[in-house]
């Protein structure tokens, strides 16, 4: 298993990665989530052996990897844009690592067929990378990375170069492929959707530091502070009095800060909060509202499709306790 | 159709210039061989090509050029990597220093190698003076810079991520080099090799000074046949042979030269700190540098040695016309002539070169237009490889009667030198102009900028530095031009390279010392110009 202890990478005087410690057990997929420039890609490159450490250590199964060059680590790295070798055909790209190991050509051919089938690109073997679409290229890059069954696969924003529909489809495929192959994976991304779609563990990074890590649903339910909550897709953070009023409406004990998802408030006659509608917008699944509640301020709320509300209307809203998260007190900035 | 017409109108000037000053002289020279007594008689030319001596000369040219090309590649590739990918201290200065030999006057290189390898020279004990090995050494010295530049610039622009992806897949550094890096560099390497071969095969000054009378290449043979033997038919036959080979090679190089994709970011990868594994490459680069410095050092020391001691006597003598009246004018006068000529040649080459570059890099809207452009591109590259001797002699025999009587024009020599420098200018400017995303111009136009205004806002800020660099490069090349100038310069107003050649051919110890001193002066002048050019930090200078 992969172990990071106080890993630090500096560019000149500025630390890009600052004392990060992480563990990743075999068979798990860990997503390192953070805004761009937070040092997550540097962390990934450090694990791959492409960035020298200024401090700390990276180990695999207890053995320190310091001094082990990239090509001897047995970690496959998949770049954001695939980085296929443009002068080699798809089959030659996939077979690249196998040929390096002087695998007999019959076995190579069989394995390439198998991998291309796994990523859903059977029959693409003779094409050149230049003729493929972005999604196809990413699949080939994945097949190439999986060819020699790496101990760990490192994914650098594997889906972000793709358009929305393709991203969703490939995310599902990717997860299935990783599970089927039983591969341990470390992926970095700035997109929480991508992290949720692929990973079972989550680590949140900010300004080079690790701010939270754990099982993905745990992190998602209990963000450690306001910034993390907003980054994980929470819509709003309430404090003090406003927080207490919303929590009281949900039947929960008071707390100094609470993060709300957009669907934490639902228009419902049985609700206990009264609010005035500021705006309403219809989406394919529900009506999204902005409402103003007394003593709280403007909040997001949802209503079932077909609800007829217009700005100025008075409504009652119910609070869904599963869609809010009490933040620790220390989170106050 | 309108666009093609506009294109041809813009191209008309440069085409006319090249037509009169290049095609006419060269065909005139070639026609000497094919037309006997007013009749077309190609038989005689074919007879020439069957002569055993011609076979020997051709074979000698091919094998020395091929050997020199391979050696230049072998020495240049590690240096290209070390100087363009590793953050070595003082690498900018070293890069500039390595470019100097390329623009050093060929005569100076010849003199330096004779000083190094000749009797009494530091390497005289090797007995290489006036051997093919000496010629190959000279050619390599001259061309390593081309390899370092061309391949180095490509290497610098190479995305490091595919290599890292390969390493993550288990490829060792050596395997990454073999399977990823070298295939990506292949166009640059093959391009450099073909250009170097071209330069070697048409080299005149070096072979002329180092080979003596025993060893002749096609180029020196043409010179010998025209000036000494007066066998114009044979000379024409060799010229044709040379032109055919050059055209084929240039076409090949053009096919392999990757055209810049304007939509792709031309990012330069930041150099990384050298590691222990880089030691062999750095050592190899240091050795190349030492090998390059040796002839120059010998030259400088030779120029400073007087009798048994040291002194500046040789430099003081530059104000005279030499022992035994070797020259008609003092060397200093020749230096002034050289500088003046080079200035004229530079503005001519820049004027035509900028026009040519604009014409060949504008985006084509139809297949026909693209064909016209690429044909023009190839056409303007021709002077790069056509024998300067052919050109010079062609000038003499075709531009000698009205309305084109230029024999007495003071612009005759500058024009010939401008032609020789033209491809260097075009090669420096086209990648820059071609690298400008055409959508930038469209954006400017859509915001209401006129064509002229667009040129000022989009093209000029990008191109002014490369233009200066190209100018400097052309200036340095003209300063050292020898092949064509040796034909055209009049006896009473010779250029410095011509004077140097005359001095080494003239007996007298003082004359030889003066030749060395004059060589140092000429080399310093070109080196200063090249250092200034290097300070402009234009990546394409010297790359083909």
* Burial class of residue A301 (count of CB atoms within 10 Å of its CB; 0-12, 13-18, 19+): buried
- Binary contact (B164, A77; C-beta < 8 A): yes
Q: In angstroms, rounded to a whole number, what is the distance separating the alpha carbons of residues B109 and B226?
A: 24
What pLDDT is recorded for position B264? Answer: 43
- Residue range A83-99, pLDDT digits in tens: 888 888 999 999 988 88
Local confidence band at B385 (pLDDT 50, 70, 90 cut-offs):
low
Q: In angstroms, rounded to a whole number, what is the distance separating the alpha carbons of residues A198 and A200?
A: 7
- Residue range B254-295, pLDDT digits in tens: 676 554 443 344 556 777 777 777 888 889 889 988 888 888
CA B525 to chain centre: 17
Helix (H, G, I), strand (E, B) or coil at A28: coil
Contact residues on chain A for B172, CB-CB shorter than 8 A: 69, 71
- Binary contact (B170, A83; C-beta < 8 A): no
Same fold, A2-230 and A234-331: no
Nearest CB neighbour to B170, from listed A84, A86, A97: A97
Question: For B47-76, b where at least 16 C-beta lie within 10 A, e where not — what string?
Answer: ebeeeeebeebbebbbebbebbbebbbebb
What pLDDT is recorded for position A241? Answer: 81
Local confidence band at A30 (pLDDT 50, 70, 90 cut-offs):
very high
Strand-pairing partners, residue B293, are none
Nearest CA in chain B to A147: B169
Nearest CA in chain B to A77: B168
CB B489 within 8 A of CB B498: yes
At residue A176, does pLDDT exceed 60? yes
Interface with chain B: mutation pick from A70, A77, A147, highest number of B CBs within 10 Å: A70
- Binary contact (B169, A100; C-beta < 8 A): yes
- Residue range B210-244, pLDDT digits in tens: 877 778 888 888 888 887 888 878 888 888 888 88
R_g of chain B, CA atoms, integer Å: 24
Distance from CA of B94 to the nearest CA of A (A): 25
Over range B532-539, report the average pLDDT: 74
Over range B41-69, report the average pLDDT: 86
Nearest CB neighbour to A70, from listed B159, B168, B184: B168
Q: Which residue bears the tokens 């443009």?
A: A86
User: 2.40.50.100, 1.10.10.10, 3.40.50.720, 3.40.50.2300: which CATH number matches A234-331?
Assistant: 2.40.50.100
CB A174 within 8 A of CB A189: no
What pLDDT is recorded for position B256? Answer: 65
CB B147 within 8 A of CB B196: yes
- Residue range B134-151, pLDDT digits in tens: 889 989 998 898 898 888
Strand-pairing partners, residue A288, are A281, A302
What pLDDT is recorded for position A331? Answer: 43
- Chain B within 8 Å of A209 (Cβ-Cβ)? no
Contact residues on chain B for A144, CB-CB shorter than 8 A: 169
- Chain B within 8 Å of A117 (Cβ-Cβ)? no
ipTM: 0.73
- Residue range A313-330, pLDDT digits in tens: 888 888 888 888 888 865
At residue B540, does pLDDT exceed 80? no
What pLDDT is recorded for position B268? Answer: 65
A2-230: CATH architecture: 3-Layer(aba) Sandwich (3.40)
Neighbours of B519 (CB within 10 A): 29
Domain locations along chain A = 2-230, 234-331
- Residue range B299-332, pLDDT digits in tens: 888 888 877 778 788 888 777 777 767 777 888 8
Q: In angstroms, rounded to a whole number, what is the distance separating the alpha carbons of residues B113 and B123?
A: 10
- Binary contact (A71, B179; C-beta < 8 A): no
Contact residues on chain B for A69, CB-CB shorter than 8 A: 167, 172-173
Domains along chain B? Answer: 42-258 (1.10.3720.10)
- Residue range B361-384, pLDDT digits in tens: 876 667 777 777 777 777 877 777
Interface with chain A: mutation pick from B158, B161, B164, B165, highest number of A CBs within 10 Å: B165
Q: In angstroms, rounded to a whole number, what is the distance separating the alpha carbons of residues B349 and A131?
A: 42
CB B209 within 8 A of CB B107: yes
């Amino acid at each position: 298993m992969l172990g990071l202890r106080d890993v630090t990478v500096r560019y000149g005087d500025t630390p890009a990665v600052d004392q990060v410690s992480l563990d990743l057990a075999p068979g798990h997929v860990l997503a390192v989530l953070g805004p761009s420039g937070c040092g997550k890609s540097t962390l990934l490159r450090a694990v791959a052996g492409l960035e020298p450490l200024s401090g700390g250590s990276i180990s695999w199964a207890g053995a320190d990897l310091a001094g082990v060059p990239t090509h001897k680590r047995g970690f496959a790295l998949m770049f954001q844009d695939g980085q296929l070798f443009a002068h080699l055909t798809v089959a030659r790209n996939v077979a690249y690592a196998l040929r390096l190991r002087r695998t007999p050509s019959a076995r190579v051919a069989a394995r390439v067929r198998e991998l291309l089938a796994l990523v859903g690109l059977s029959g693409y073997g003779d094409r050149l990378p230049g003729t493929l679409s972005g999604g196809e290229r990413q699949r080939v890059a994945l097949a190439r990375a999986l060819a020699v069954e790496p101990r760990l696969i490192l994914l650098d924003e594997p889906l972000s170069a793709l358009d929305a529909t393709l991203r969703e489809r490939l995310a599902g495929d990717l997860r299935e492929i990783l599970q089927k192959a039983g591969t341990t994976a470390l992926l970095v991304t700035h997109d929480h959707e991508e992290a949720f779609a692929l990973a079972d563990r989550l680590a949140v990074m900010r300004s080079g530091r690790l701010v939270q890590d754990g099982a993905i649903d745990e992190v998602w339910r209990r963000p450690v502070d306001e910034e993390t909550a907003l980054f994980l897709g929470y819509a709003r953070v309430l404090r003090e009095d406003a927080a207490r009023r919303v929590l009281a409406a949900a039947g929960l004990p008071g707390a100094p800060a609470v993060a709300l998802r957009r669907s934490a408030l639902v228009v419902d006659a049985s609700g206990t909060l009264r609010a005035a509608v500021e705006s309403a917008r219809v989406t394919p699944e529900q009506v999204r509202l902005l409402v103003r509640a007394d003593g709280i301020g403007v909040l997001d709320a949802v209503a079932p499709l077909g609800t007829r509300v217009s700005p100025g209307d008075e409504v009652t809203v119910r609070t869904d306790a599963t869609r809010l998260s009490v933040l620790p007190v220390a989170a106050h900035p | 159709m309108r666009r093609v017409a506009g294109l041809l109108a813009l191209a008309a000037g440069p085409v006319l210039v090249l037509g009169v000053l290049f095609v006419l002289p060269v065909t005139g020279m070639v026609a000497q061989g094919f037309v006997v007594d007013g009749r077309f008689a190609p038989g005689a030319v074919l007879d020439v090509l069957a002569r055993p001596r011609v076979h020997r000369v051709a074979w000698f040219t091919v094998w020395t050029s091929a050997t020199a090309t391979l050696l230049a590649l072998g020495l240049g590739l590690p240096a290209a990597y070390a100087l363009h990918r590793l953050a070595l201290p003082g690498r900018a200065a070293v890069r500039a220093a390595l470019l100097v030999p390329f623009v050093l006057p060929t005569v100076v290189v010849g003199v330096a190698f004779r000083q190094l390898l000749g009797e009494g020279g530091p390497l005289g004990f090797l007995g290489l003076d006036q051997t093919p090995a000496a010629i190959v050494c000279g050619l390599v010295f001259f061309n390593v810079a081309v390899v370092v530049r061309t391949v180095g610039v490509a290497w610098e622009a190479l995305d490091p991520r595919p290599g890292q992806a390969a390493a993550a897949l288990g490829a060792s550094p050596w395997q990454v080099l073999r399977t990823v890096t070298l295939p990506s560099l292949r166009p640059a390497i093959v391009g450099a090799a073909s250009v170097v071969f071209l330069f070697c095969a048409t080299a005149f000054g070096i072979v002329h000074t180092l080979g003596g009378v025993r060893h002749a290449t096609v180029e020196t043979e043409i010179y010998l046949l025209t000036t000494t033997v007066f066998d114009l038919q044979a000379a024409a036959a060799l010229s044709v042979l040379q032109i055919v080979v050059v055209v084929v090679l240039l076409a090949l190089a053009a096919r392999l030269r990757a055209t810049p994709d304007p939509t792709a970011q031309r990012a330069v990868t930041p150099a990384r700190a050298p590691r222990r594994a880089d030691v062999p490459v750095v050592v190899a680069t240091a050795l190349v540098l030492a090998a390059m410095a040796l002839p120059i050092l010998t030259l400088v020391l030779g120029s400073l040695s007087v009798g048994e001691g040291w002194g500046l006597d040789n430099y003081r003598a530059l104000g005279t016309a030499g022992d035994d009246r070797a020259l008609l004018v003092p060397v200093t006068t020749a230096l002034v002539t050289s500088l003046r000529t080079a200035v004229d040649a530079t503005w001519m080459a820049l004027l035509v070169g900028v026009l040519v570059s604009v014409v060949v890099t504008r985006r084509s809207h139809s297949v026909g237009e693209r064909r016209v452009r690429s044909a023009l591109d190839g056409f303007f590259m021709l002077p790069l490889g056509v024998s300067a001797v052919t050109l010079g002699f062609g000038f003499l025999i075709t531009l000698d009667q009205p309305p084109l009587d230029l024999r007495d024009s003071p612009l005759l020599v500058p024009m010939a030198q401008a032609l020789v420098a033209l491809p260097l200018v075009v090669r420096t400017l086209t990648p820059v102009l071609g690298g400008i995303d055409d959508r930038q111009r469209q954006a400017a136009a859509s915001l209401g900028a006129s064509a002229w205004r667009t040129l000022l806002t989009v093209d000029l800020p990008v191109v002014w530095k490369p233009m200066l660099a190209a100018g400097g490069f052309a200036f340095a090349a003209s300063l050292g031009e020898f092949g064509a100038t040796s034909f055209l310069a009049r006896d009473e107003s010779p250029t410095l390279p011509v004077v140097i050649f005359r001095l080494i051919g003239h007996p007298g110890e003082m004359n030889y010392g003066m030749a060395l001193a004059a060589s140092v002066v000429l080399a310093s002048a070109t080196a200063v110009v090249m250092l200034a050019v290097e300070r402009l930090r234009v990546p394409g200078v010297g790359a083909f």
